Amino acid sequence: MDMTTNPLLIERPAMYFGNQDGYLRDILAFDIGYTTATQIAHCFIPIPFKQYIIDTLAPNNPRGLTWFTLIKEHASGEKAEWDLFKRLWRDYDKQMHP
C-alpha cells in the first residue's frame, strides 16, 4: 500500500486521524510506522514524492533538510503545514498522472 493506492488519506484524513487542524505529524508517524512494520525499504509516502517536496521547497537543498522540516519551515502552524502538504501532493500527482 502507498499513497497512490489510498488517496482518501489526503482527501479525508479525519477518517484516519480524527478531526484536527493539520495532519502532517500524523502522516509522518504513519510513514515511520509503516516503514518499520514492513521491514523493507518501502515508505508509505513515496520516496519520489519526498524528493519532489525537497526539490520544490529547497532546490539543491544546501542545508540537507528533510521534506518534513522544509514543510514546517514554509508554513506556519499545523493547518498551513497540512494545506501545503496537500497542495504539493496534488501537484506531484498531476505530474505523475497527467
- 52 pLDDT above the threshold of 60: yes
- The cell numbers describing 96, all together, are 505523475
Mean pLDDT of 34-52: 79
pLDDT, tens digit (0-9, with 9 covering 90-100), for 83-97: 999 999 999 999 988
Measure the CA–CA gap between 71 and 65, rounded to whole angstroms. 10
pLDDT class of 3 with cuts at 50, 70, 90: low
Contact 27, 85 (CB under 8 A): yes
Q: Specify the pTM.
A: 0.64
Higher pLDDT, 52 or 26: 52
Asked if residues 59 and 51 have their Cβ atoms less than 8 Å apart, the reply is no
Asked if 70 and 24 touch (Cβ cutoff 8 Å), the reply is: no
Evaluate if residue 25 carries a pLDDT over 60.
yes
